[in-house]
Each structure stands twice: as structure tokens, then as C-alpha cells.
Chains A and B, each alone.
Chain A
Amino acid sequence: MNRIDERFDELKRHGKKALIPFITAGDPDVEYTMNTVRALESAGADIIELGIPYSDPLADGPVIQASSQRALKGGMNLDIAFDMVQNLRINTSIPLVFLIYYNCIYQYGLEKFVEQCGKAGVDGAIVPDLPYEERQVLKPLLDDAPVYFISMVAPTSAQRIKEIASSAKGFLYCVSSLGVTGERQAFDSNIDAFMEKVNLYSAVPTALGFGISEPQHMRRLGHLADGLIVGSALVRRIEQKASDRDIYEFMRGLRLALDECMEQTMGNNS
């Protein structure tokens, strides 16, 4: 069984939601990233997204772009990322998902990428520039691995939602609002209707991302999906050279807010 499925099953049994932080692998170096992963896990993260740095990250806002540049400057590459995951796997079984642009996979070689994911212990891949129409080159290879190809839906997906959501594996990455990654103050009211539609069709748990950055967002959005993704807010702290302790505190705050929101919802239901 894929570690992602195991984690969501467990969360469901406990009536909890998944907290999914994103960090760029190798920003500013591998050792820092490994320490951060441990801090995130002990603060209660359920799945960790590791961004593979890329020179031209189309779907990302300034914070993650800069993070990508720092990691590249530090010499990060996909081979090192696989080694890092292999090392992390000695001590952790937390689900790890790569966020990786397609050109990085294409140059590495699709088969080799899939094989290395399996070997190192990567549980899924999010490829933000490989939409439904283009994914067929990669998805069957991952399915056999088995490493999950994590699909994305956006508020503009409209009639595409059904097709994408019903064939999703692992979890479905739901883009909260138009635009690129980055912290947002508020969320459009359409988000509730969007998530209602997504949840109706999704074959797997849903995770909401883009703009989610603080405890009050956990409370506002927690009931809309099975998990929440936090990226830029965390990466900005890394840019400011946050200590393991700072990372832990920040993630802990989000965890408590998310759990609190669920306890209230469950309380209301009973």
C-alpha cells in the first residue's frame, strides 16, 4: 500500500485532516532540508512536498522562484534529491511527494525517474505543467511503480473537474484560486462551491493549496478538503534562515488550528 493511502486512512480513522507543507529541496542546502523535514514531521505534518528546483517555474510566485534559485545556486539537482530521500527514509516513513516540472523529468529520462522514485521512496509526483491531456506519457509508468501521479484541478477547470477528479490517485491537488503560488490574505467566496464540486467527483482525498499561510486559513478552509497545503509561508521563513525550532513552532501552530477546527466540526455534527 502506498504511504499516502495509509496516511489518509489513518487520518480518517481519527477524524483529522492532512497538513501538507511544501519546501524546496536543497534550499539553501541538503542538510538544512533534511533537518526541516524532521522538524515538520515532529510538528505534525502528514505528507511533505519536496520541490525540485527549476530555472523556469511557471506556476510559482516570487517566494518559491527565489527559493528555487537558491537551491540551484547551492548545486541541487535531481540525483542529489534522490540521495537525500534515500537518506531520509532511514528514519522516516512520512509520505514524500516531489513537485517537479516536466522538463526536469524529461531530461532525466522518464523510466529512470520512475525507477529512482521507487528505489528512493518517493510516494508521488506533482507535475504542474503536465495537465490531463499530456500526462499519458508519464502516468502509466508511475502507476506501475507504484508512485502516484498527483493530479491538479483549478477553479477554471469547470467541466474538466469530473474527468480529472474521478481518475485521481493518492490525493487530488486543488488550486484554491487563480494565479501562481504565494501567500494570500483572503479567499474568493467561490471556493466553497468549487470544492463542493470537486469533493463530489473525487476518487481520492482532496488537498487544497495556493495561498494558505496562517492558522486562521486552517479554520476557514479546513472543512472544505481532506488536507491543506502550505508552501510560500514556510519557504519565506526558510529564506529568513528560520531555525528548526522556528519551523517546528510555525507548523505546530497550523496543526493545532487545523485539529481545533475539526474538533469543532465533529462537535457540531454529534
Chain B
Amino acid sequence: MNPDQAPLLRVRDLVVEFSTEVGVARAIDGISFDIYPNETVGLVGESGCGKTVTGLSILGLIPSPPGKIVRGSIELMGKDLTAIPEKELRDIRGGDISMIFQEPMTALNPVFTIGNQMVDVLTQHRNLTRKQAHSVAIEMLDKVGIPAPGQRILEYPHQLSGGMRQRVMIAMALSCGPKLLVADEPTTALDVTTQAQVLEQIRLLQDEFQMAVILVTHDLGVVAETCDRGIVMYCGSIVESAGIEDLFNHPCHPYTEGLLQSIPRLREKPVDRLPIIPGRVPDLFHLPSGCRFADRCSKVTDRCRQEAPVLQQLTGSTAVSCFNPVA
């Protein structure tokens, strides 16, 4: 992160709600963060914490209805993406911002060749004929490490393995030179070896293409390996944001601390049981009025139950939303 630079993406006070028959669920409750050019930021949390919804809302892909951005702004280089017409947003999707998804098996259209789908994206955003786009697509497949790209490009998604498909998705995502890549659990569905290869590929290409990456994941190990910075989400809010060293060495929010302790690893002293965070995530229809983590927190005070903490800058790179941060 270079604080002198202007942020590439600036999210302010974003609120996303889903209306259902049972009531309105607030999936994201007033989050703010910046993404700077060229950095990799991990967006971490349990499933249902709002990390995927955050990723989707950046591209204006919240399924609507039932979802809706209620408040807040998402500025890409000064342009508020929540306020521009759909048509303009379409030029940004796949152009300036690309997104890759968790499910490589179903994320591609099964009835068209991968080449056909890549060419569609390329001709949509770059001024190319279909023939030119075809050779660019081959080039891109080569870059993401697909052997014999000239033949592979004529194949259908079902003819490729999961890892291959995710590489195709990456090739497609990078083909129009995005400034920001949102990767939503890009390796969760893959086996461990493939995972490492795909992550490595993203990192290599990030340097080549000079883009920022938001890595949405529940896997702290992946964050530690690949990210410059981590944003921890809990129940629709950001609880902690810090540089990667600070986050792992000095977690300040009790939730972050709990998450880190629950990772199995080789320890100096063997432990009988892996520590867990007690209690359950509150349901999004009945959020507590104070801190959402209060019921599960070991350092809870009366204030935590009455008043919701806001994200505040501490020393160094860390910002935390807690009244009693871990020292």
C-alpha cells in the first residue's frame, strides 16, 4: 500500500439489504474501505458474513430483487458505480473490473466453446474483430499456463478439468486489462496442488498486468500467503483491517484473534483441542443493537451490548472496530 497514491476503489458506508418474505436481511451494514492500485487485499470471514455480497456489489451484480444497495457509494477512480446507468456499468464489468467465481465447474456456459465465450468478452470491451480476438484469447490461455491453447480454445467447458476451467476464467478476466480483479473464493473448489498453482498464476499475472486484487476467501492461510492486507468481516461489518504482518502477528479484534487460533498448525506446545469461538453467528434478521460479536466475545462489557463500535485507526496499519481491542 502506498498512502500517497489515490485509492483505485473507494467504498463508503455501503449498506446492502435483501428483502424476503420473512423480513429484510441486512447483508452488509455500512462498510467502508479503500483499495490501492496494484495491491492484493484479502476479504476474510465465515460464510454469510457478507464478503461475497461485497464483491458482487462492486460490480453491481447483487441479484435484484431481492437484493438492493440501500446506501453508500462505490467509487472507481472517482466515478460512483452505484450512480451510473446499467449500460455504463456493463463497460466496466470485464473491462476495468473483472470478477472470477468459486465454481469453475458451472461458471462457464456449457453449450459454447471457451474460445467463443472469451471472444465475446474481448469484442465487447476492446475494439477487435472476432478473428483478432481469437488470437488474443489464445495468447491469454497461453499466459495462464494452458498447454496447447490453440486446440483447447475450441473445446467446451466439460472437456476441461476444474483447475483448467478456473485458468480459463482467469484468462477471460484478464483479457481486457482490468485495473481490479475481484476473486471470489477462486481456489476453494480445487484440490490443494491446483489451488497453489492457480494462486501463483494470479500473483504472476498481477505483476504483469499491474492490477489490484480483492481476494474473497474464508481461508486465512491463503490470505497469509498472497495478500498485502487483510480485511476481516463479521456479520455484515468490517471488524478489522490491517497490513498482513500486523493482522497475523498482532490481531486486535477478539474475533480475528479467535479465527487465527482456530487454524490447525504445528505449534511449539501441543494442544489438546483446537480453540474454537463459542456461540453462533447472530441471524441477519435479528441483529443485536450493540456489537454483533458481543455474545461470543471473551472481553465483552456492558458498553459492547448497548453501543456498536465503529472502525477506528490504531497504531500502524491496523484499524479495528472494538472498544476493548486485544493489546
Tell me whether A and B are bound partners: no
- A residues at B contact (CB < 8 Å): none
- Which B residues are within 8 Å of any A CB, using their own CB? none
